Each structure stands twice: as C-alpha cells, then as structure tokens.
Amino acid sequence: MKYVIFLGDGMADEPQERLGGKTPLEAAHIPNMNRIAREGSCGLLHTVPDDLPPDSTVANLSVMGYDPHTCHEGRGVLEAAAMGVELGPDDHAMRLNLICACDGLIVSHSAGNISSPEAAELIAALGSEIGCGGIIFYPGVSYRHVLRLTCPASKAVEFAPPHDHVDQPLIAWLPRATAPEGEATAALLRGIILESNRILENHPVNLDRARRGLQKANYCWPWSIGRRPRMENFRGKFGVSGAVVGAVDLIRGIGAAAGMDCPQVEGATGLWDTNFEGKADAAIGALKSHDLVYIHVEAPDEAGHEGNLDIKMRAIEHLDRRLIGRVMAGIAGPVRFAVLPDHPTPVAIRTHVKHPVPVAIMGPGFSADAVTRFCESACARGSLGELHGDEFMRKLIG
C-alpha cells in the first residue's frame, strides 16, 4: 500500500461576498480534490490544540502524527535542520524574516516576497556587521531565514510573528522577556532588529528594489525560538517509510527531524509561481522507494497572508490541476490519497485561525459517504466525523 498526502497550506477560508457567499474551496474548479471527496470518506480535523497557537509548525506536526506539545521547539530549529545546520545542545535557533516597515508600521512580513538571491545578499550584510559573539545568520528561501545563537540565551521571550501584525506598529511588537532569565536575550534580539534597519535601509539591494517600485526589506525580525528538537523516527512510529516534498524549510525540517527523505525540487519557491509539476514528479519518484509521501504546497497560505482572493483561488486550482491530478495519474497499484489544509488562512484577516479543516481520504478501506465536494461545509457532514491530532495519520495508515 502507498499513501499520498496533499497538503494545501492555509487553503481553508471563510465565505466570501465576491464569491456569492462561497469559500474559495467551494468556488474553485478542483475536480481532483472533489474526486477524492466523492469517492472517499470525509470529515474535519482539529490540527491545533486549544492551548497552542495556530502556527504552521503546530498544525503540520499534528497532521504528520506528532504531538506538538512534546515536539514543538519553534520554527527556527526545524528550518535549521532543513538547511543542514547542526545545533549544539546549548544552541538556540529561530526563524528570521526579512520584513518591510514604513512610518513605524509593519507593511509586509515578507518584504514583498523578496527573491532568494536578493535576500542572501542582505543576510550576508547582517552577518558581516552583526554576526559575531555567538550570533550567526543563515540564508534560506525568499524572506525565510534562520538566526542561531551559540551565546548564552533563554527561551523565556515572547515573540510576535510578523504575519500576524501587518499594518501595526513595529515598536509595539518587539521581543520581550516573559521571565527575568529572558531579559538579556530579549534585549539582544531587540538590538538586532533595530540595528538591522541601519544596515539594510540603504543597502544597494534595497535601493535597487525601491527604484523598481518594490518594497524594501529594511528590517530583520527574529521569532519562534527553540533548541534542538527530539522527534521519534517516522518509520519507527508508524511502520512505513516516508518522504516530504516541499519548498519551505519549515516543512522540510519537520521531515528531516523525523528521519524522512526530503528531495530538492528545482523551481519550488513556496509561492504561487512554484514548480507544481516538478513537485508532483518528485513525489511520484519518491514513492518508488518509500511508502508515504507528504506533499506540501505553501502558495494558498501566502495568498491568504497577502489578502489576495484572486491569487488564492488560482493557487488552489493550480494545486488541483497541475499537482494533484498529475500525481493521481502517475501512480499505479493500491494507494490511499488524502487532501487537506493544515489550518485556515482567511484572506479577510490575513492570518491563521484555529478552526478545524476539511479532510478527505480515498482508497482501499475507505468507502464513499454522502459528500460530493471537497470544502469546509460538505466535509463537516462526512463519515469520518471530527478527528483530532494524530488520529488523521493513524486512520490513513490504518
């Protein structure tokens, strides 16, 4: 038996007036997702425990069958794992965004989805001017990077994910200590943020972006601190071998920490211009030597953060036609297909929410129920009912 999980990050949403009261999933042309729902069993999945934030790390850990209470050490450590950065037992790592701020407000969590080559130059500039005394910068994909602290540090710091605070005052969301032992670390990180503006504001990359009418990446923003995680090997936990196909280091890092293979896909960007066909082909290839493949597509989530309904619809339809359809046509033999988001990212509020997400599973052992479309309201009436956390993975694998 083979298992394929299609994860459309953030593609669940709320009814839209422009769509006649339908959600993007209800209005989009998604024949392949609808086929999985129509021929399989459907339900809702609670991916975020009540006491944790609706973060993609938390949600994807749950979907992959892990308890985020025991595995969640922040995005930075997982993204560091994806980059091959070895953390010492006393090191701390965190996600580092390149953001755009103007007139004291956070304008964009992604600096207009800055390109990876441009971002690499800016990260190198930060490293040369700030990167000393146990402060190390690592370039990633687009606006997503890693900051590693080998100097003494503490996790007792409260951070504000920048995508949750667009159009809000930057100064109000600087890191702050949650206990006395976090004061020094919070002060260090506030200093890095404020000093980054001096380095980045008039950097040649940003001056060129301004000339082209693009947003400047004029601040760095560290958040989600953690230490090296301990995760049970996926094969040892579930009895099947697995691979992760994705563009963003967070998802690849979860896979790496779980001992799963993570093939690189040329042209996989984490945006709506990603190489859908390349990711599909990589998944088909991975299934030749693995039992399960987890295919993650970030594009709908990024469109949700941009508040762009048109791009979100297009990203969902491209996921369906160019990736899901291609994979389903390219695999023979007994296989179970599952499709779901990790969390909703409503375009109206441009951030994640905790609502349960629709899920559909098709293949041997799963009978068709009354659901005929893959969407939030229809799947709520499915035979799977409401699942929580690792119940999805355990039900999929059986």
Which DSSP string do the residues of 318-374 spell out, in sequence order? HIIIIIIHHHHHH--SSEEEEEE-SSB--TTTTS-----EEEEEEBTTB---S--S-
pLDDT at 70: 85
For residue 55, pLDDT beyond 80: yes
pLDDT at 129 over 90: yes
What pLDDT was estimated at residue 62?
96
pLDDT at 371 over 80: yes
DSSP state of 214: P
pLDDT at 73 over 80: no
In the prediction, which pLDDT does 270 show?
A: 79
- Of 180 and 268, the structure prediction assigns the larger pLDDT to 180
Average of per-residue pLDDT across 44-62: 93
Query: pLDDT at position 66, please?
Result: 95
- 147 pLDDT higher than 90: yes
Better-scored residue on pLDDT, 199 or 53? 199
Domains of the chain with CATH codes: 2-72+232-397 (3.40.720.10), 81-226 (no CATH)
**pLDDT of 183 higher than 80:** yes
pLDDT(381) > 80: yes
Q: Mean pLDDT across the stretch 2-30?
A: 98
% of the chain surpassing 90 pLDDT: 85
Q: What pLDDT sits at residue 146?
A: 94
Partners of 305 in the beta sheet? none
pLDDT at site 229: 74
Interatomic CA distance for residues 76 and 227, integer angstroms: 9
Residue with tokens 């369906």: 320
> What interhelical angle do 75-83 and 56-63 show, nearest 10?
70
For 44, which DSSP code? E
DSSP 267: T
pLDDT in tens, 74-124: 778 888 888 888 888 899 999 999 999 999 999 999 999 999 999 999 999
Span 352-357, average pLDDT: 96
Tell me the whole-structure pTM to 2 decimals.
0.79
pLDDT at 131: 81
CB burial string 263-281: b at 16+ within 10 A, e below = bebeebbbbbebbbebbbb
Computed over every residue of the chain, the mean pLDDT equals: 95
**Model pLDDT, residue 374:** 98
Angle (nearest 5°) at CA 143 between 356 and 166: 60
| Gap between the Cα atoms of 175 and 116, Å rounded | 26
Q: What is the model's pLDDT at position 312?
A: 97
Structure tokens, 15: 């009814």
Phi, psi (degrees; rounded to nearest 5) at 360: -135, 140
- Residue 213: what pLDDT? 97
Tens of pLDDT, residue by residue over 221-280, are 999 898 877 789 999 999 999 999 998 888 988 998 899 999 989 988 878 889 999 999
User: What's the CA gap between 300 and 287, in Å, rounded?
Assistant: 25
The pLDDT score that the predictor gives to residue 233 is 94
Cα three-residue angle 246-291-239, rounded to 5 degrees: 110
Cβ-proximal residues to 133 (8 Å cutoff; 6+ apart), any chain = 151
Cα dihedral value 265, 315, 145, 114, nearest 10: 110
Check pLDDT > 80 for residue 72: no
